[in-house]
Amino acid sequence: MYGYSIILYGSSKRKDVAVMATVSLAKAMWRGFSGKCPNCGEGHMFGRFLKVAGTCDHCGEELFHQRADDFPAYLVMVVVGHLVVPAILAVETAYAPPVWLQLAVWLPVTLFASLALLQPTKGAIVGLQWQLGMHGFETGKQRREAGELAPVLVKADTRVA
C-alpha cells in the first residue's frame, strides 16, 4: 500500500501517497474538521484562516468548488449559543454575580469558542460537499465513481516523465 505513487488522470501532480478506497462521509467530514484534504487526509485544506486552498498540496484534489458560504457560521452560532446560554443561566441562578463580571467572563468565552469552531466547522462542511458531490464537486465524484480518476500505481523509485 505504501511506497507507491498516485497519478490521477488529468492531473499534473505526482505524490507518494497511500492508495485509498472510497472515502466515507464521516471520514471526509472528520478530515475536513481536522483541516485536512477530504480525499487523501494529508494535505492542508486551508491556505489562510477561512480561505480554502484551490487544490490539495498533497494529492492535487480540487477544493475550489466549495460553496460553504454562511452555513458554518450559522452552525457555530447554534452550537456556541446552546453551550454558553445555559452556562450563563446556571451561573446567574447559582451565584448571581454582577453584570460587569458576567460580561467580562462570557463575552470572551463566546468569542473564543466561536473563533475556535469556525474553521473546523467550515472544513467539515467542505468535506460534506466533497463527499456528496455537491456544487462543483459533482463532476469529480462522478469521475471517481466511474473509475476515470482511478489511481495508476507506479513504484516510488520509478521516474515518470
- The average pLDDT across 24-49 equals 95
Residue 160 lies in a domain: no
pLDDT band of residue 21 (cuts 50, 70, 90) is low
More confident residue, 46 or 152: 46
How many domains does the chain contain in total?
1
Residue 34 lies in a domain: yes
Residue 20 lies in a domain: yes
DSSP symbols for 30-60:
HHHHTTB-TTTS-SBSBSSSS-B-SB-TTT-
Measure Cα distances from 11 to 83, 141, 144 in Å: 44, 15, 13
The percent of residues in the chain predicted with pLDDT above 90, rounded, is: 66
- The average pLDDT across 127-134 equals 94
Residue 126 has pLDDT above 50, yes or no: yes
- 18 neighbors 1 (Cβ within 8 angstroms): yes
Residue 13 lies in a domain: yes
- The average pLDDT across 67-81 equals 96
Rounded to 10 deg, the angle between the 25-33 and 99-132 helix axes is 130
Q: How many CB atoms lie within 10 A of CB 43?
A: 22
Residue 161 lies in a domain: no
Residue 139 lies in a domain: yes
Give the model confidence (pLDDT) of 41-72 as tens digits: 999 999 999 999 999 999 889 999 999 999 99
Residues of the domain holding 65: 4-155
Question: 115-141: b or e for each residue (b if 16 or more CB lie within 10 Å)?
Answer: eebbbbbbbbbbbbbbbebbeebeebe
